[in-house]
Amino acid sequence: MDTVTSLLDSIADVGRDPGRGGYTRPVYSAAERDLRAWFTEQAGRRGLAVETDRNGILWAWWGEPQRGALVTGSHLDSVPGGGAFDGPLGVASALVAVDLLKARGVQPNRSLAVTVFPEEEGSRFGVACLGSRLLTGAIDADRARNLKDDDGNSLADVARINGLDPQHLGRDEDALGRIGDFVELHVEQGRGLGEDGPAVAVGSSILGHGRWKLSICGQGNHAGTTLMEDRRDPMVAAAQVVLAVKQVAAQTKDARATVGRLQPVPGGTNVIASRVDLWLDVRHPQDEVTAQLVEAIHGKAQKIAAFEGCQATLAEESFSGTVHFDAALQRQVQNALPGAPVLPTGAGHDAGVLAGFVPSAMVFVKNPTGISHSPEEHVEDADADAGAGALADVLEALL
């Protein structure tokens, strides 16, 4: 029988990024398509019938597709230079859990589907959990169709190339109705289980989080001929904004704010940029505090930009309020995993988007490094096995 580790080993070469380290598997890239093909093959080997819905979500069915099914799964796309576990651990564990349930002779009272959601990380089109947002209608379909990747390709075009009808992207009542309960297993992404803690935990909540694009416009010019006092350099403003982001967040308990991506335009060594785009990721347990943090950062950015002869504008790209998972389902998951600690997470997940529409729950597997969105993310083989076993226990209790 496959183990989670043997399954992950079988995709260990897909989407490796020697430059950044780790994996770069953007949605609908060659690497992510290879992973989808791998999933389809693995599901087929288990006798699960795979279908792709109109938003590009893969569903592998044990039993007939039906309303109110039990659904588990995660994603196969990654951040740039990500680890091996964020996403694939949940998918591989779901496949192994199906094997375990069959080996246990479990006779399900309802169908079970294993799902793979596209663009969970939002690394290509900027909006995290895009697949689950489309499925639920949490994002406007027109807006989604017009999202662009860094090469200017729209989601509509990329969807079409990948066999989807762009006009059919968006809320899918039939597919959504098939989710009676959703359970996502995921690598723990902080120090929630420490180095010596138990292998698995039950999720309680997801920190509210969002993304904003801040554009600082100045005057593009020549690095050699433009005197320092004549410059309107948005990069100089951007540097101060990054410091202000840290300062604002550091002054607010439980706040996290990050500038992980910054793009000077046009981006030449001997060119004073005409514009710098930077992306803000802001998170806090109270949604009104998140809004205040963003407002404070925006205010500081405008002042900094004005001082440098530039202009700053801010646009929201996505926001998800703090989510508390369904109490009844969480209790059932806890009952199936006696003694497992209950943990909140600061990371976003499709389970968080789905929680607004259907009962959803999460199981976390220990990450001894406490590091994620990095090649250093790690799960020990024994903990991965324990995770799949725990997921099987949860699914068996719910089937």
Q: State the maximum Cα–Cα separation within the chain, in Å, rounded to a whole number.
A: 77
Stretch that binds Mn ion, among 211-219, 244-252, 288-296, 345-353 (CB under 5 A): 345-353
Structure tokens at 265: 């335009």
According to DSSP H, which parts of the chain are helical? 4-9, 30-45, 88-103, 130-136, 141-145, 155-161, 173-177, 234-250, 287-307, 327-336, 350-354, 381-398
Query: Are 75 and 121 contacting, i.e. CB atoms less than 8 angstroms apart?
Result: yes
Closest separation in Å from C-beta 23 to Mn ion: 11
Please check if 188 is assigned to a binding site.
no
Closest separation in Å from C-beta 376 to ligand GLV: 15
Q: How many CB atoms within 10 Å of residue 246? A: 12
Nearest residue (CB) to ligand GLV, 26 versus 264: 26
Please check if 211 is assigned to a binding site.
yes
Nearest residue (CB) to Mn ion, 238 versus 347: 347
Distance CA 203, CA 364 (A): 7
Which of 22, 26, 73, 87 binds Mn ion (CB under 5 A)? It is 87
Distance CA 288, CA 294 (A): 10
Binding flag, residue 220, Mn ion (CB under 5 A): no
Closest separation in Å from C-beta 386 to ligand GLV: 22
Structure tokens at 82: 């990500």
Please check if 121 is assigned to a binding site.
yes
Contacts with Mn ion by CB under 5 A: the residue count is 5
Name every residue whose Cβ is closer than 8 Å to that of residue 15 and which is 6 or more positions away in sequence: 23, 24, 25, 29, 31, 32, 34, 35, 78
Q: Which of Mn ion, ligand GLV, none does residue 310 bind (CB under 5 to 8 Å by kind)? A: none
Q: Which of ligand GLV, Mn ion, none does residue 362 bind (CB under 5 to 8 Å by kind)? A: none
Please check if 283 is assigned to a binding site.
yes
Q: Which of ligand GLV, Mn ion, none does residue 351 bind (CB under 5 to 8 Å by kind)? A: none
Stretch that binds Mn ion, among 3-11, 95-103, 194-202, 339-347 (CB under 5 A): 339-347
| Beta pairing partners, 224 | none
359 to 5, 83, 182, 244: CA distances (angstroms): 29, 28, 6, 39
Q: Which of Mn ion, ligand GLV, none does residue 87 bind (CB under 5 to 8 Å by kind)? A: Mn ion
Please check if 270 is assigned to a binding site.
yes
Closest residue to bound Mn ion by CB: 86
Nearest residue (CB) to ligand GLV, 46 versus 256: 256
Nearest residue (CB) to ligand GLV, 278 versus 399: 278
- The answer to whether the peptide bond before residue 166 is cis (omega within 30 degrees of 0) is no
Which of 32, 53, 86, 281 binds Mn ion (CB under 5 A)? It is 86
Name every residue whose Cβ is closer than 8 Å to that of residue 343 and which is 6 or more positions away in sequence: 188, 192, 193, 201, 202, 203, 204, 364
Q: Which of Mn ion, ligand GLV, none does residue 363 bind (CB under 5 to 8 Å by kind)? A: none
DSSP annotation of 218: -
Chain centre to alpha carbon of residue 221: 38
| Beta pairing partners, 263 | 277
Closest separation in Å from C-beta 365 to Mn ion: 12
Stretch that binds Mn ion, among 29-37, 86-94, 100-108, 225-233 (CB under 5 A): 86-94
Please check if 373 is assigned to a binding site.
yes
Distance CA 255, CA 2 (A): 41
Q: Which of Mn ion, ligand GLV, none does residue 60 bind (CB under 5 to 8 Å by kind)? A: none
Closest separation in Å from C-beta 89 to ligand GLV: 13
Nearest residue (CB) to Mn ion, 290 versus 345: 345
Distance CA 83, CA 89 (A): 10
Q: Which chain residues interact with ligand GLV by CB under 6 A?
A: 121, 128, 347-348
Please check if 120 is assigned to a binding site.
no
Please check if 75 is assigned to a binding site.
yes
The residues of the shown chain that bind Mn ion, judged by CB under 5 A, are: 86-87, 347-349
Binding residue numbers: 75, 86, 121, 186, 211, 270, 283, 373
Binding residue numbers for Zn(2+): 75, 86, 121, 186, 373
